[in-house]
Amino acid sequence: MNTARVTRYSAAEHLARSVNFGRDGRDLSMTMFTANFDASGLAGDTSPGAAFFVSGFVSTVEKWRAFEDEWLSLLRESGIKSPFHMTDFEAGVQQYASWKRDLPRRNEFLSRAVDIMHKQTHKPFSHGVILADLRRMFMEFDIPDIVPPEPYAFCGLQVIGYTLQWASNRFRAKTMTGADAMELVFEDGDLDKGKFMNATRRRYGKMPVFKTKTWVPFQICDLLAWEHRRRVVEFAKHGAARSRASYAELERRLPDGALRFDNWQSLERFCISAGFARRV
């Protein structure tokens, strides 16, 4: 049995069929876009500079299908069992124990991973927040319910907004039509999922789809979210971040503006511009 092909159907064509009444995704008259997102960080982390990120990519069903084939092939060649977990990879634990001190091998794998994500996706969207600053914002300002205090919901709404704006821009540029469909897919099981769903319904009137960690596209979303969170945490703590070959490759291959995050300065400006009253 061709395992890669079975996984490929489950992770890409299923969405196309689910919104097109069972027709084969390759025969669709419209273009099916899917935006996949994963989170990195712990919402309750109180360590200095702690951050939370939600990151992902939008691409067509056809490109996601090609991504899955290439990604699963890379994992097999590298002796890695899917799903790939960036946190365990960086820590060199479990199936990654033999990678821990082999920097050339690690860099080669990450370079190939970035190459695949660059080739098989249309656009990355990533948003994070310094957790202490988000908590401070809700303590110092009277914030309406439309702005959720939970980091997952806060960052999730931002990346949904970026994605829908991207689609709107393509529509105006006539590179996307009203017949094209867009699905928003998030990993199931994240803390505050219910609050995120409620906030999404209120803000956009559109509900995301939730899938388990075995959904193959989440694996590069996890990589992107981890790299961006690591970068922001190091800057928040030390005012600089150490050079990482994988992050340098991300910066080189991904478009400008892929990394966005909020700290106290941007959150305070947002509250003032929105007219939120300071608490006495």
Tell me the chain's radius of gyration from C-alpha atoms. Answer: 19
Calculate the alpha carbon distances from 70 to 10, 78, 112, 115 in Å: 15, 12, 10, 10
Question: How far, in Å, CA of 186 to CA of 178, rounded?
Answer: 24
Q: Which of 27-41, 156-170, 227-241 has the lowest mean pLDDT?
A: 27-41
Q: What tens digit of pLDDT does each residue of 64-117 get? A: 999 999 999 999 999 999 999 999 999 999 999 999 889 999 999 999 999 999
Q: What is the mean pLDDT of residues 139-153?
A: 95
Lookup: tokens for 201: 């319904």
More confident residue, 247 or 104: 104
pLDDT of residue 250: 81
Question: How far, in Å, CA of 224 to CA of 119, rounded?
Answer: 15
Question: How far, in Å, CA of 185 to CA of 164, rounded?
Answer: 13
More confident residue, 196 or 280: 196
Q: How many residues does the chain have?
A: 280
Question: How far, in Å, CA of 249 to CA of 112, rounded?
Answer: 10
Average pLDDT over the chain, rounded to an integer: 86
More confident residue, 21 or 147: 147
Backbone angles phi, psi at 215, to 5 degrees: -65, 110
Residue 228 DSSP one-character state: H
Q: What is the mean pLDDT of residues 239-258?
A: 76
Locate the DSSP E strands across 131-235: 181-187, 209-211
Locate the DSSP E strands across 41-163: 51-60, 123-130
Reported as type and span, the H/E element at residue 209 is: strand 209-211
Question: How far, in Å, CA of 42 to CA of 191, rounded?
Answer: 9
Q: Which of 91-95, 114-118, 183-187, 240-244 has the lowest mean pLDDT?
A: 240-244
- Its pTM surpasses 0.75: yes
pLDDT of residue 79: 96
Backbone angles phi, psi at 183, to 5 degrees: -115, 140
Would you say 247 and 227 are in contact if contact means Cβ atoms under 8 Å apart?
yes
More confident residue, 1 or 269: 269
Q: What is the mean pLDDT of residues 122-127?
A: 94
pLDDT of residue 24: 41
